[in-house]
Amino acid sequence: MQRILIVAPNWIGDSLLAQPLLARLQQRYPAASIDALAPAWTSAVLQRMPQLRQVINTPFVHGPLQLRQRWQLARQLRQNDYQLAVVLPNSLKAALLPWFAGIPQRAGFVGESRYGLINHLHRLDKQALPLMAERYAQLAEDPGNAPQRPLGAVQLQVDLANRTSQLQRLRLRLDKPVSVFCPGAEYGPAKRWPSAHFASLAQQLAGEGRQVWLLGGAGDQAIGEAIVQASQGAAINLCGQTDLASAIDLMSLADQVVSNDSGLMHVAAALGRPQVALYGSSSAAHTPPLNPAAQLLMPEGLTCSPCFARVCPLGHFRCMTELTPARVMRALQQLATPQ
């Protein structure tokens, strides 16, 4: 096996959960080079994975089939002479490119009538493999074989030069220990801990001599500003002021991270940061952070949680509001000291 192509997921968190698959492929085929095919918004995390040689960005938008564009990209991929493609998304569209590119071995799960497009067919037993990371890892094996356990670790490389540059650009100092909050969640507001809770926690941590950085995308700027205002300036709003690669580098300086169930939660895990992950409408049973230094908090005694809705269908949002700042503070105090 000389060249392997990974058709990566469309979400940051899922891309990180696929890293044990990459580690296993590298173990099985030590002489092979591994490339990933991914949308631009996830490529920053993939580019920081040591198992990958290169990341090829896809030009596709969500929704349309875009057959012409897929055929054109497939013609370019043919020049790389891949022997194996591993298709992680279960859609028909994801399986088209390796087929168009003439890659002889195309592995993936049965889904959306992909027979023929996928010729190394895996069948998913959800009860045997409850974790998304396990399901991806199974695709590194021959069909019918279970994934190798324990799963390989997640790991992101840090660009030290870029980190120094970002500290200077944003005028950030390291004279106090850093707590990072990730207050956003792309899926929807039901996954977001209330801004008032983040603000209260920021004030407590600032009172202990810490600084609090808020990291997130441009869509999280308003949430970040609300936290700054409610905390009376106890937090620094960096949401929207960095790209994903720079957020990775800055987060590597944190000795504790508090996040919703989001892509940045998985970034913290891949950086090995001690973290508290907050779950309300979602569940840690399927996509927990792959991090032994993680505390997972979820509501107690609520039959409506998890509902997996984007917005609380009952309107009370108790799953998140009842995760109090005091409870999160206790979890932070229990975190292991980082190495």
pLDDT in tens, 97-156: 999 999 999 999 987 778 889 999 999 999 999 999 999 999 999 999 999 999 988 999
Architecture of domain 160-334: 3-Layer(aba) Sandwich (3.40)
Residue-wise pLDDT for 255-289, tens only, equals 999 999 999 999 999 999 999 999 987 788 889 99
Among the four given CATH numbers 3.40.50.1970, 3.50.50.60, 3.40.50.2000, 3.40.50.720, the one describing domain 3-138: 3.40.50.2000
Provide CATH 3.40.50.2000 ranges for the chain: 3-138, 160-334
**Three-state secondary structure string covering 124-159:** CCCCCCCCHHHHHHHCCCCCCCCCCCCCCCCCCCCC
pLDDT at 61: 66
Examine the pLDDT at 337 and tell me if it is beyond 60.
Answer: no
Residue-wise pLDDT for 186-220, tens only, equals 776 778 899 999 999 999 999 999 999 999 999 99
Measured N-to-C along each axis, helices 67-78 and 92-100 cross at an angle, to the nearest 10 degrees, of 40
Q: Which of 284, 312, 286 is closest to 298 using CA atoms?
A: 284
**Residue type at position 38:** A
**Residue type at position 240:** G
CA separation for the pair 16, 106 (Å, rounded): 21
Residue-wise pLDDT for 56-72, tens only, equals 999 876 767 778 888 89
The fraction of the chain above a pLDDT of 70, given in percent, is: 97
What count of Cα atoms within 13 Å lies in the side-chain half-sphere of residue 84?
21
CA separation for the pair 226, 212 (Å, rounded): 14
Tally Cβ neighbours within 10 Å of residue 168: 9
Examine the pLDDT at 250 and tell me if it is beyond 70.
Answer: yes
Average per-residue pLDDT for the chain: 92
pLDDT at 1: 66
pLDDT at 303: 80
